[in-house]
Structure 1
Amino acid sequence: MTDIPYTSVGGSIQYVVHCTKPDITYALSVISRYQACIGEEHWSTVKTILKYLKRTKNMFLIYGCEELILEGYNDTSFQSDDDDAKSQSGFVFKLSGGVVASKSAKQATTTDSTIETEYIAASKAAEEAVWTKKLHPRVGCDMERLCDLSGSIGSVSNRLNRLTGIVIWKPWKLGRYDLNPRL
């Protein structure tokens, strides 16, 4: 397996994800985990992704609308990785219906509750929201952020926040600053 260009192809897929195909962000996240220890099943997965890219190369996103509306979505899957019990989280930001930023990645820490997992994901999405809003100065309206867990929304918007600790203290401030929850 040493002669297979797994890392190189993974980098190329990452470029494609950032430029034209945000729909395969999760697949990229999964194949990126195994760069140090690739097996036949990993290479087979990469080939499946390449086949998908080849089949969809003439499909593209169209941006256009009278009004610029910036929307953000984030979600997590609690302790979804069987290897280390870490959660997967991600976000997508759309400008007038077209994706302008997206990310799917394992969280850096193992969490004890779905609220904490969603809370960390919301704060990471809030960091991206601040950057995305600065990138698009013509967007004068408030950004819609959609989060699917009422516990994390309550945690971010509650002045008497009960979740404390080093892991979530910094995100608490940023998440609370930018989050405008709407279900």
Structure 2
Amino acid sequence: MNTAKSTPTPMGTSCKLTKSGSEQFEDPTLYRSIVGAMQYATVTRPDLAFSVNKVCQFMSKPLLQHWSAVKRILRYLQGSSSLGLHIKPAVSSTPIAIMACCNADWASDLDDRKSISGACIFVGPNIVTWWSKKQQTISRSSTEAKYRSLALATQEVIWIESLFSELQYQYQTPLVLCDNLSTVAMAHNPVLHNRTKHIELDLFFVRDRIQSKALQVKHIP
């Protein structure tokens, strides 16, 4: 891979990996070794979170299509080895800002139709937490999938708030950004009916934070 041509993205937008559809990879141990090493790269590379999480789901029985996806990630790493996190000092004279961005890829897993949640959280100008993980339940709409992602981000924000409170450090009211207008509207004024009863706990959890002025949820394109 040292002489391979680099690629601008770690995974193509049309890449849909499944548990079937191609021949089995001849060296599963090599696959597990490389993918395991990639997990360490995600500690400082948020841009790898989604793609590495995806190839990690096929450790037990990797196929050739999965190996091709791994090689693309390696090609991306080869051309972006100089990238990293830039840590900047926050302004100490004002309360520090806490901002989260959340999203979900609805029913993107072709094997079980579960959605993928993703979020990143900034404290001041610096990103401190990020993740990409499969949801535990199947969402019946994109709004539901994104709302579950919103609830996960809110939970992480509350943990950061508790840490700052323990350190007696001043912070602004946290802000969570979501690109789904229905999710934002539901967070501010959820109408509980048959289609939303199964996510009622997440609805009340986020709405309670908004009503107590402890959280802001806004739309972002």
Determine which of 146, 150, 157 is the counterpart of 2:177. Answer: 146
Normalising by structure 2, we get a TM-score of 0.71
Once residues 59 and 114 of structure 1 are traced to their aligned partners in structure 2, the CA distance between those partners, rounded to angstroms, is 32
Deviations 1:72-96 (A, max 9, x none): 0011122222222222221111223
* Paired position in structure 2 for 1:87: 115
2:108 is aligned with 1:75: no
Q: Which residue in 2 is equivalent to 1:46?
A: 70
Question: Secondary structure of the residue that 2:133 maps to in structure 1?
Answer: strand
Query: Whose radius of gyration is greater, 1 or 2?
Result: 2
> How far is 1:139 from its partner?
5.2
Q: CA separation in 2, counterparts of 1:142 and 1:3?
A: 48
SS class of match (1:62): coil
> Compared with structure 1, are the counterparts of its residues 170 and 44 closer, same or farther at alpha carbon in structure 2 (3 Å cutoff)?
same
Q: TM-score when scaled to structure 1?
A: 0.84
**Consecutive unaligned residues in structure 1, runs of 5 or more:** none
Which of 22, 32, 37 aligns to 1:12? It is: 37
CA contact (8 A) 1:22 1:99 kept: no
- State the secondary structure of the residue aligned to 1:4: helix
* Alignment length (residue pairs): 180
- Give me the whole-angstrom Cα distance separating, in 2, the residues matched to 1:78 and 1:181: 20
* CA distances 1:15-60 after superposition (whole Å, capped 9, x unpaired): 2212x10111110121011111201221222232233223322222
Whether 1:128 and 2:163 are equivalent positions in the alignment is no
Q: 1:99-143: per-residue Cα shift (whole Å, max 9, x none)?
A: 211111222111212221121111111112212333455351111
**2:35, 2:75 → 1: CA distance?**
14
Rounded to whole Å, the distance in 2 between the matches of 1:113 and 1:48 is 31
- Paired position in structure 2 for 1:182: 218
Q: Structure 1 residue runs of 4+, over 6 Å off?
A: none
1:157 aligns with 2:188: yes
* Structure 2 gap segments, 5+ residues each: 1-25, 210-214
* Other-structure match for 2:3: none
Which one has a larger percent helix, Structure 1 or Structure 2? 1
Q: CA RMSD in A?
A: 2.2
Could you tell me the percent identity over the aligned residues?
25
Q: How does 1:57-72 map to 2 (within 5 A)?
A: 57-67=81-91, 68-72=96-100
- Partners of 1:155 and 1:161 within 8 A in 2: no
Kindly tell me: are residues 159 and 59 of structure 1, through their superposed partners in 2, closer, same or farther at Cα, counting changes over 3 Å?
Answer: closer
